[in-house]
Amino acid sequence: MTPADRIHLVHALDERLRTTSICLAVTYGARHDSAGRGGLAHMLEHLLLSAPVAGVGPLVQHIEGLGGTANAETGLERMLFHAQVAAEDADRVAELLLRAVLEPALDTDTLEAERAAVLQELAAAEADPADVVQDAFLGAVFAGHPLGRPVGGTVPEIAALDLDAVAEGHRERFLAVPMALAVVGPRLPRALAGLSDRPRVVPAPPAPVPLGPVRAEEPAWPDTFGWVAVGGRSQGLADPERHRYTVLAGLLGGSASSVLYQELRVAAGLAYSFQAWDRGYTESGAWRVLMGVESGNGPKAVEIVTRELARLAEEGPTDRHLGAALRNARMSLILDTETPLEHARLLASRALLTPTPWTVSRELAEIAAVSGDDVRRAAAELLADPVTVVRPEAR
C-alpha cells in the first residue's frame, strides 16, 4: 500500500464558490512521538510546509504568493494541513500539497530555520500564562500519560532533533497512518480525481494506554493577573454520549446566555475573559473552564465555577438555560459548515474519527438529543475528580 492509498477523500462541492479550500488530516500527533523525541510531530509539521517543492520553492510561500492562505497545526492525536486558494489555482495547489507532504525534500538548512522558528514559538508560549496553564492542565488531567505531553515538545527535545530523526518520523509514522483529505469548492481538483475511486482505509483502533489518577494540585495563587483552568476528564471520541460535555461547556462558557456568565461576570464581577470547552481523545477527554483573573479573585472565581457545577450535578439545568446551550452548540457547528475553510477542516477531522461517513445533520441531531439529565451526569462526573491549575504560580 502506498501512502496515497491511505488517503480518504471527502468533499462538499458548490458551484457558487469562487475559492477552493483543502484540508489534509493525518492521524499522527504529539502523543505518538517516541520517548525522548517529543516535538517531532510539531517539527515535521513546520518542515512539510516550508521545505522546497520542485519548481515553486516553499509551499506556503507559493500559495500565499497566489493570494491564498496556507497553514498547518499539530495536536495530540492529529495533524492538519490546509490551504484556501482561488478556484482556478486549485488543480495545481492540490498537486503540490500532496507532493509536499508525501514526498518532501527535507534538508538541513530548512530544518535549522524551522528549529529556530519552533524555539521562538515555544518561548512565546512560555511567556504567556494562558498557554502555559493549558499544558499544565492537560499534564495534571493525564498525568504520566502520552495525552499529558506538551504538543510543541520541550526546548531540549527540539534542540536534539536531527534530520535523520525527522525523516524517520515522516517515513515510519506519518506515512504509515490513515489520512483524510477534504475539499470544499466549486469542483474537485484534477489531481484528486484518482482518490475518489479508492476504498476507504479504516484506521485500526489504537491500543489504548491505561489512564492513571489525575494529579490534583493545590493552586499557588500569584499576586498578579493570572489564568486558571478548572475541569477534569470527560468522554473519549468513540463515546456516543460525548456531546453532553459540549452542552455543559455552553452552560458554563463565555456566552452572555450562559449560567456562569451571569454569576461570574455580571453578579460577582470576578472575570472578564473566560471560556469553556471540551476536547475528546482516544481514551478520554478533557473538559475545562479557562478564566483570566486579577490578583485575589482566583479562589472566589473557582468557588463559583465549582458551585455552579455542583448545582447542575444536583438539579440539572433549567429548560431555558438548556435550550440556549443546545442552540449555541448547534449554531457553532452550523457556522463552521458555512465557512468554507472551517468546513474543510471539519470534514477532514471527522473523516478520521468515524467508521461511517460523517454528516452535519447527524451530529446536529446528536447534540439536540442531549437532555438535562445527561448534563447533570456530566457535571457530577467532573466533580468526582476535579482539577484546578493556575499559572503563573506564586513564587
pLDDT above 90 as % of the chain: 83
| Rounded mean pLDDT, 22-36 | 92
One-letter amino acid for residue 289 of the chain: V
The reported pLDDT for the residue numbered 203 is 56
Q: What does the domain layout of the chain look like in residue ranges?
A: 3-197, 226-391
- Confidence at 1, pLDDT banded by 50, 70, 90: low
Other CB atoms within 10 A of residue 318 CB: 12
Between 3.30.830.10, 3.40.30.10, 3.40.50.300, 3.40.640.10, what CATH number should domain 3-197 receive?
3.30.830.10
Joined together, the cell numbers standing for residue 298 give 482566583
- Confidence at 271, pLDDT banded by 50, 70, 90: confident
Same fold, 3-197 and 226-391: yes
- pLDDT tens readout for residues 163-175: 999 999 999 999 9
d(CA 19, CA 4): 24
The reported pLDDT for the residue numbered 34 is 86
Which residues lie below 8 Å from residue 214, measured CB to CB, with a gap of 6+? 140, 141, 142, 143, 232, 233, 385, 387
- pLDDT tens readout for residues 330-381: 999 999 999 999 999 999 999 987 767 889 999 999 999 999 999 999 999 9
CATH, domain range 226-391? 3.30.830.10
Which residues lie below 8 Å from residue 254, measured CB to CB, with a gap of 6+? 261, 273, 274, 275, 276
Cis peptide before 392 (omega within 30 of 0): yes
The reported pLDDT for the residue numbered 9 is 92
pTM for this entry: 0.93
